[in-house]
């Protein structure tokens, strides 16, 4: 197929745009993929008076007089990318992602933290955002700020590649073994597409993932109700919020 038929150099016929009733937002947005994390963030910042903008497939909350923008939830690469496309059209330039992941490494346990730097893509969205010879990665400067903050607070973390899939019920033993042996840290459903979109749209994006379950020994252990997991998820949310609102982004 030729490049012209692929349409790689073209914008889509349907474009993300700011509608007349859509809010204007600042350059920094905290993307909470998980509903519980979004609820916690709203309650933590401003339990009453958050301004809700319901965009049908996700929600934007503006708090502190519009100085802070929180949004979500999202499930999977297509929805997350559609949401961030809209956020970029509304003014977002830096996206801070908070999510959960399943560990593929024995030294990465429930409640531990991951900074994804790159991703193995097994989702169908990234291929529609051609980035040429550029690498789909998170932003090095924002990642460094996140690392420094975690180290200062004494939180252990790992940084490295993750595996993004559209099919959580097809995380087969063979794939888990293969990615574990290659040093891939964890599996989740959005990051490779978000990284690719960030490169394609020339925005900056970082992420912090909390290990919610373990798959590394081919047994599925969940920690969704674990008090440690809940506490770390809340601290991760607070930390991203603190970094996002502190300014001085490199």
pLDDT in tens, the chain (250 residues): 223 344 566 889 999 999 988 999 999 999 999 999 999 999 998 767 789 999 989 999 998 878 899 999 999 999 999 999 999 999 999 999 999 999 999 999 999 999 999 999 999 999 999 999 999 999 999 999 999 999 999 999 999 999 999 999 999 999 999 999 999 999 999 999 999 999 999 999 999 999 999 999 999 999 999 999 999 999 999 999 999 998 766 6
Query: What's the CATH code of the domain at 132?
Result: 3.40.50.1580
The set of residues, in sequence order, having a beta carbon less than 8 Å from that of 154 and lying 6+ positions away, is none
Burial class (CB in 10 A: 0-12, 13-18, 19+), 210: buried
Strand (E) or helix (H) holding 177? helix 173-181
Number of domains composing the chain: 1
Residue 93 lies inside a defined structural domain of this protein: yes
Is the pTM for the entire model greater than 0.75? yes
Query: Which parts of 131-173 are beta strand (E)?
Result: 157-165
Cβ atoms < 10 Å from Cβ of 188: 25
Q: CA of 179: how far to CAs of 185, 202, 243, in Å?
A: 8, 29, 31
What range defines the domain where residue 152 resides?
A: 26-246
Residue 158 lies inside a defined structural domain of this protein: yes
Distance CA 14, CA 73 (A): 23
Residue 140 lies inside a defined structural domain of this protein: yes
Residue 233 lies inside a defined structural domain of this protein: yes
Query: Which parts of 59-201 are beta strand (E)?
Result: 59-63, 68-72, 94-103, 113-122, 157-165, 186-188
């Amino acid at each position: 197929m030729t490049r012209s038929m692929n349409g790689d150099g073209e914008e889509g016929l349907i474009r993300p745009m700011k509608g007349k009733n859509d809010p204007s937002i600042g350059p920094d947005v905290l993307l909470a993929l998980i509903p519980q994390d979004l609820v916690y963030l709203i309650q933590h910042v401003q339990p009453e008076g958050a301004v809700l903008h319901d965009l049908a497939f996700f929600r934007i909350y503006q708090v502190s007089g519009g100085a802070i923008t929180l949004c979500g939830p999202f499930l999977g690469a297509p929805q997350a990318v559609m949401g961030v496309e809209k956020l970029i059209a509304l003014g977002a330039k830096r996206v801070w992602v908070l999510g959960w992941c399943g560990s593929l490494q024995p030294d990465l346990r429930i409640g531990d933290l991951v900074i994804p730097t790159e991703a193995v893509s097994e989702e169908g969205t990234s291929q529609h955002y051609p980035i040429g010879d550029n690498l789909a990665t998170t932003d090095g400067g924002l990642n460094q700020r996140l690392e420094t903050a975690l180290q200062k607070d004494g939180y252990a973390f790992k940084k490295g590649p993750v595996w993004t899939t559209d099919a959580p019920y097809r995380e087969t033993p063979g794939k888990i073994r293969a990615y574990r042996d290659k040093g891939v840290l964890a599996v989740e459903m959005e990051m490779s597409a978000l990284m690719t979109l960030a490169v394609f749209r020339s925005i900056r994006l970082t992420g912090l993932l909390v290990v919610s379950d373990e798959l590394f020994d081919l047994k599925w252990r969940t920690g969704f109700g674990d008090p440690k997991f809940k506490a770390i998820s809340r601290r991760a949310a607070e930390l991203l919020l603190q970094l996002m609102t502190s300014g001085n982004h490199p």
